[in-house]
Structure 1
């Protein structure tokens, strides 16, 4: 695993105080909140349409360590929406491409690109080292695997999805005693196909909207501020710019998160 250089402390020197001053000016964040961001480790699963704005905003906000997992390579069709990548990187691994962009954006960010599809013990190891996990993948099998790992290890999970003109966002938090999980909302018997964008298309700014909201929820979680949409599914219709909120609870028969 490749690690970009970073400072060994989350303490804010004068340069950092200036760089993150617009955060620090917010009473809800302040120096303490920014130091929590600097000490945090975020794991982003997928460096595509959703992962691009997530990773860009987390790095720009001063996240201490950012691990990006993606085994795919940059394709010409990605460039319409996957803003981490550039035309000269077609054919390159997306996690490595992401690391280059993020290191240029914020040289202090510690970026750890993982250029394989993490499964099994490796996925558990990656989730175990993170403070927050952001699911930006495009297939149900990976979503369910990440969900199981997060609930096994007690890590909060920010979940987003986007296809056509429709986006959705929610948070699963096993630290809360009655938090539902991804399996409660979408059972594993559902569609298993990969690449819905390749099948149905996706409106480019939609992934930016949903991904930016995922980044916001991840930052709130590591700082311990605000209210997360646990048990609430937010759905956006980009054609009308209307949000719909649906509440859902823990499935008493869920094999992943139901507690005795």
Structure 2
């Protein structure tokens, strides 16, 4: 489960020797630092150095007018003015790529709901939120978009996510899917998406979605937050993109949790009779708070943004150590079976075999954070 996910390979206290601290030596960012700003805009003639023309471009227009011109307010762009600040970072081409991208968010809880918000603000074309649960009272501390008067029971999480998106941008196409991962409907959703995000609380569903996305060559970002022990907390994201990096080759899965999830009740009972009751059976639901979830969601949205717009390649694994605090990254293995062996080969992978496992269809354990 997510409880062990971040500690098994890279202990929080000691850190991971294979990883490195991101931007540890760089000067801190500040809104008040004087810096050169380079915006991806159509080329203009060089501005005059005449003091009388300060604040105006080569055509005598004020900077405010020029800003309006490039943000689409004066009609030169088909993109809405709401994307002005986005365009200043990654250009109109980048924004157009986002506007042509459809995403699926599997698990719309404390991790998935802030992620949906970020994706809507970035301006993607369509969002498919997937979850089979309703809001409950214990979700209210971290579910972005839930209102104090949303009824419990009676508020499906996917409907709350759809409302959140349309309150941000009603032009985004939202297709709520109220179903669990192990269903034909969700498998079809994954196959139709350009990017897939997984926001689970267990490694079993993570492993299944990782394999499904590899089989159909889908870009996949998995999110996790974790409070494994008192005073230790953080999160991580894993990016499976273009056949380089996944949950398996980045050692982001606990094989014991995956095995337990895929096992039948009879198989579990047999192991328990020999080895005793496993820890995951008696483990209670742990802490989950909005700020920590929000960091993981923001990291996932950022790596998605830079990959789609072409700003840079996404980092394949980012660990967030909130109690230190620091960020670390790691590199994937070059010979991963999922990244290299079955990527884009759905018949070889046969990920649909999970749909043929009745015990997975019947399981209704909590899977999302």
User: If the length of structure 2 is used for normalisation, what is the TM-score?
Assistant: 0.59
Q: Is the 8 A contact 1:80 1:204 kept in 2?
A: yes
**Native 8 Å contact 2:141 2:289 kept in 1:** no
Partner residue in 2 for 1:6: none
Q: Does 1:126 align with 2:189?
A: yes
> Are the aligned partners of 1:133 and 1:156 in contact in 2 as well (CA < 8 Å)?
yes
Check 1:198–1:88 CA distance in 2 against 1; reply closer, same or farther (3 A cut).
farther
1:4 counterpart residue number: none
Cα distance in 2 for residues equivalent to 1:201 and 1:247: 29
Task: Identify the residue that residue 9 of structure 1 maps to in structure 2.
Answer: none
In the TM superposition, 1:91-240 aligns within 5 A as: 91=153, 92-164=155-227, 165-173=233-241, 175-176=242-243, 179-184=244-249, 185-187=251-253, 189-191=255-257, 192=260, 199-230=285-316, 233-240=317-324
Instruction: From 73, 85, 89, give the equivalent of 2:134.
Output: 73
The 3 A distance-change label for structure 1 pair 247 and 222 is closer
Counterparts in 2 of 1:248 and 1:187: CA distance versus 1, 3 Å: same
**Cα 1:31–1:245, aligned 2, differ >3 Å: closer, same or farther?**
closer
Which structure's residues are more often strand, by fraction?
Answer: 1
Distance 1:57 1:135, change over 3 A: same
Partner of 2:354: none
1:259 partnered with 2:259: no
Q: 2:81 matched to which residue of 1? A: 18
Superposed CA offset, 1:209-243 (max 9, x none): 1101111122223223312112xx32222122222
TM-score (norm 1): 0.82
Deviation at 1:153, TM superposition (A): 0.5
* Alpha carbons 1:132, 1:221 under 8 Å: kept: no
Q: Kindly provide the CA deviation profile for residues 139-182 of structure 1, in whole angstroms up to 9, marking residues without a partner as x.
A: 22221111111000001111110022221112112x23xx2322
CA distance in 1, matches of 2:303, 2:245: 17
**Change in CA separation of 1:133 and 1:22 when aligned onto 2, cut-off 3 Å:** same
Aligned to 1:35: 96
Residues 5-41 of structure 1: CA deviation (Å, up to 9, x unaligned): xxxxxxx876843110111122xx2111111111110
User: How many angstroms apart in 1 are the aligned matches of 2:184 and 2:335?
Assistant: 26
* Alpha-carbon distance between aligned partners in 1 of 2:123 and 2:339, rounded to the nearest angstrom: 32
C-alpha deviation, 1:42, in angstroms: 0.7
Aligned residues between the structures? 239
38 and 111 in structure 1: CA distance in 2 versus 1, 3 angstrom threshold:
same
Instruction: Tell me how far 1:251 sits from its aligned partner.
Output: 5.7
- Residue 52 (structure 1) shift: 1.4
1:63 is displaced (CA, Å) by 0.7
Contact map agreement 1:43 1:126 (CA 8 A) in 2: yes
Counterparts in 2 of 1:167 and 1:149: CA distance versus 1, 3 Å: same
What is the RMSD computed on CA atoms of the aligned residues? 2.5
1:61 to 106, 122, 125: 122
Structure 2 residue matching 1:108: 3-state secondary structure: coil
